[in-house]
Amino acid sequence: MSRIITRPGGLDLDSPGRRDYLVALEHDSIWGDHLMPLTVWVGPEAAAGKGLVAFGANHGNEYEGPVALKHLIKEIKTEDVRGRIILIPVLNTPAFKSGTRDTITEDRVNLNRAFVDGAGKTPALNGITHRIAAFVREYIWPRVHGVIDLHSGGDVARFALVASFHPVESPELTRQIEETARWFGTPLVMTYQNVTPGLLPSEAERLGKITVGTELGWGRAVNPEGVRCGRQGVLAAAINHGLLRGKIEKIGAHRDGTQQRVAMVDRACFSVAPFAGHYEPLLECGTTVKAGQTVGLLHDFDYTDADPQPIVAGVDGVIIAQAWAAAVPQGQHIVVVGKVQEWAK
């Protein structure tokens, strides 16, 4: 397949048909460009401001999203497309190439903290990561009403597979987001705190877009079930929102009725490492626990003969995530428990 290399201003995201691009964003340190893969389909029913975008590799060491979207680029047939669908399997190309969460080789910025005022516009915020955020703002947001941001735990945490979103004020938008999230088929649908500045999904939600994130794996690996859920969620969003012809069946916990909605918006949901040590999980992610129940043990090998520190659940609920690497720094959230909630009405 031949891809068109173009600066953002040369993109055509509106004319009917399919186009495959490498979007050229100027390199910070060599005479060259970072090349971001982007595929767009525009069907005969496409409307201004309406469409779906799915991103992979917002963080560069999370791979289920890129793999799922790469498969979909091959599978979606142009003749079946009704509206606008944009797939960007690798959003943060320099971080992806270095296999790091942040853009370590360039400006050392976390793209999922870069959606801040002045990103890509002011000298202090004009590195490649902030310019990727500016590109999304200028060229993608005006053309879509649905946003999927495919994440995994990377090196940070081991997750029960989840689709996720933040609490939003509008009951109708909440219902639409929740329904879109459920179609990923993950065991858990998670709502989480929205106090971290610069998140891509936070900005999309503030703009009133149907926005779903995920955690589909961990450990810089490719989880096949995570890939299956990612592919399913994107396809279901395209079909159910009238952008792609076809029918789709439920999968996983969505199909068998065991899917749960959990919330980790309270501080008590997070169990923090009181000292730097090595974490030993005793229970699997996805396990139902009670507040005060021991989930794992934190060992200090400077004091080999000392008893390990019990790490306990702060609330009744379901274990959403635990530290992935055994070695954890002081202050890391090493266990996260979500409170079970009712589905939106």
pLDDT value at position 20? 98
Q: pLDDT tier at 127 (50, 70, 90 boundaries)?
A: very high
What dihedral do alpha carbons 130, 10, 61, 337 form, nearest 10°?
A: 70
pLDDT value at position 201? 97
pLDDT value at position 193? 85
Instruction: Select the CATH number that applies to the domain covering 4-264 from these four: 3.40.1280.10, 1.20.210.10, 3.30.2040.10, 3.40.630.10.
Output: 3.40.630.10
Over the chain, what HEC string results?
Answer: CCCEEECHHHCCCCCCEEEEEEEEEECCCCCCEEEEEEEEEECCCCCCCCCEEEECCCCCCCCHHHHHHHHHHHHCCHHHECCEEEEECCCCHHHHHHCCCCCCCCCCCCHHHCCCCCCCCCHHHCCHHHHHHHHHHHHHHHHCCEEEECCCCCCCEEECCEEEECCCCCHHHHHHHHHHHHCCCCCEEEEECCCCCCCHHHHHHHCCCEEEEEECCCCCCCCHHHHHHHHHHHHHHHHHCCCECCCCCCCHHHHHCCCEEEEECCHHHEEECCCCEEEEECCCCCCEECCCCEEEEEECCCCCCCCCEEEECCCCEEEEEEECCCEECCCCEEEEEEEEECCCC
Residue 275 to residue 293: CA distance in whole angstroms:
20
Residue 335 to residue 167: CA distance in whole angstroms:
21
pLDDT digits (tens, 9 = 90+) for 208-247: 999 999 999 999 999 999 999 999 999 999 999 999 999 9
Q: What is the CA radius of gyration of the chain?
A: 20
267-341 architecture in CATH? Beta Barrel (2.40)
In the numeric block, which tokens belong to residue 282?
């005793």
Would the pLDDT of 326 be above 80? yes
Residue 336 to residue 87: CA distance in whole angstroms:
31
Average pLDDT over every residue of 284-299: 98
Q: pLDDT tier at 271 (50, 70, 90 boundaries)?
A: very high
pLDDT value at position 274? 97
Cβ contact 242:177 at 8 Å: no
Residues 265-291 as b/e (b if ≥16 CB within 10 A, e otherwise) read: beeebbbebeeebebebebebbeebee
Q: pLDDT tier at 1 (50, 70, 90 boundaries)?
A: low
Would the pLDDT of 137 be above 80? yes
pLDDT digits (tens, 9 = 90+) for 17-67: 999 999 999 998 888 999 999 999 999 999 999 999 999 999 999 999 999
Would the pLDDT of 257 be above 80? yes
333-341 and 146-149 strand pairing: unpaired
Sorted by where each begins, the domain ranges of the chain are 4-264, 267-341
In percent, the amount of the chain with pLDDT more than 90 equals 95
Handedness of CA 66, 67, 68, 70 (dihedral sign): positive
pLDDT value at position 72? 98
pTM for the whole thing?
0.96
In the numeric block, which tokens belong to residue 329?
């720094």
End-to-end alpha carbon distance in the chain: 45
224 Cβ neighbours under 8 A, 6+ residues apart: none
What dihedral do alpha carbons 274, 278, 282, 287 form, nearest 10°?
A: 60
Count CA atoms closer than 13 A to 289's CA, side-chain side: 26
Residue 162 to residue 190: CA distance in whole angstroms:
6
pLDDT digits (tens, 9 = 90+) for 166-177: 999 999 999 999
pLDDT digits (tens, 9 = 90+) for 302-314: 999 999 999 999 9
List phi, psi (to 5°) of 88: -125, 90
Q: What rounded mean pLDDT belongs to the chain?
A: 96
pLDDT value at position 61? 97
> How many CB atoms within 10 Å of residue 76?
19
pLDDT digits (tens, 9 = 90+) for 65-114: 999 999 999 999 999 999 999 999 999 999 999 999 999 999 999 999 99
